[in-house]
Amino acid sequence: MLSGEIVDLVAAERAYVPMYVKWINDPEVTQWLKADPPFSVEMEHGWVDRLRREGKTTFTILTKDGRPIGNIGMEEVVWKYRRVTIGIMIGEKDCWGKGYGSDAITTLLRYCFEELGMRRVDLITDSENHRAQHAYKKCGFRVEGLMRQYRTKNGRIIDDVMMSILSSDWFSLHPPEGRGA
């Protein structure tokens, strides 16, 4: 488990599948995501089993009282370059805009930079998802560029934004001595 200020990150598992199905089939939740619903319970069980088989690091985000509210994951890890691509979804809509996503990202970044020694963490997001970009910037991400007509969703051609944070960015925001290390 990784422990943040207001969330904990635990392993994705079958016990949470009913929540995953609810979130991933909600058009408001998936509006900005790559995922295209519908998804069945069996498909989500298959997804959890695949994560387990392939050793992928995907977490379910829990509030401190144990309520599952979303997922965050290390989607692609390239050890050779110490680079990782992450993705996040807050599925419980009443938890939007309350800092849970930012805390989950900060917790995962701390793990990536301080425990794994990653050099770079990146993500891509819909260019029109300004709220998410604002939240990522607050966590230390910078916009690197626009990926023009990168994908389509619901008949719309989408430009994605590539954002990243480097180890040097992280440690300038979170100096080790300031954290009592």
Partner 1 sequence: MLGGELVGLVPLQTTDELALYKWLNDPRVRKASGRQTWKPAYSLEQVQDLIKERLAQPSRFDLMIVDRQTERPMGLIELAHIQPMSDSAQITLIWGEKGDDEMATEALILAAGYAFNSQGLHRLWTRVPAREKDKLGLFRKVGFEQEGSLREDHFCEGGWQDSVLLSLLSAEARPC
Give min distance, CB of 128 to partner 1, in A.
32
When the beta carbons of 1 and 155 are compared against partner 1, the nearer one is 1
Give min distance, CB of 174 to partner 1, in A.
9
Instruction: Categorise residue 26: left if φ over 0, alpha if ψ from -120 to 50, beta otherwise.
Output: beta
Give min distance, CB of 181 to partner 1, in A.
5
When the beta carbons of 65 and 115 are compared against partner 1, the nearer one is 115
When the beta carbons of 80 and 156 are compared against partner 1, the nearer one is 80
User: Hey, is 47 helix, strand or coil?
Assistant: helix
Confirm if 111 and 118 have CB atoms less than 8 A apart: no
Q: 158 — phi, psi (to 5°)?
A: -115, 135
The strand pair at 57-63 and 120-126 is best described as unpaired
When the beta carbons of 18 and 97 are compared against partner 1, the nearer one is 18
Instruction: Categorise residue 66: left if φ over 0, alpha if ψ from -120 to 50, beta otherwise.
Output: left
When the beta carbons of 14 and 151 are compared against partner 1, the nearer one is 14
Q: Which helix (H) or strand (E) holds 137?
A: helix 130-139
Give all strands (DSSP E) within 108-154, no chain letters: 120-126, 142-153
Residue type, 161: V
Give min distance, CB of 163 to partner 1, in A.
22
When the beta carbons of 24 and 62 are compared against partner 1, the nearer one is 62
Give min distance, CB of 125 to partner 1, in A.
23
> Residues near 115 by Cβ (< 8 Å), separated by ≥ 6?
none
Bridge partners, residue 60, by sequence: 10, 71
Give min distance, CB of 115 to partner 1, in A.
6
**Which residues in this chain contact partner 1 in the complex, by CB under 8 A?**
1-3, 9-15, 48, 52, 55, 57, 59, 111, 113-117, 171, 176, 181
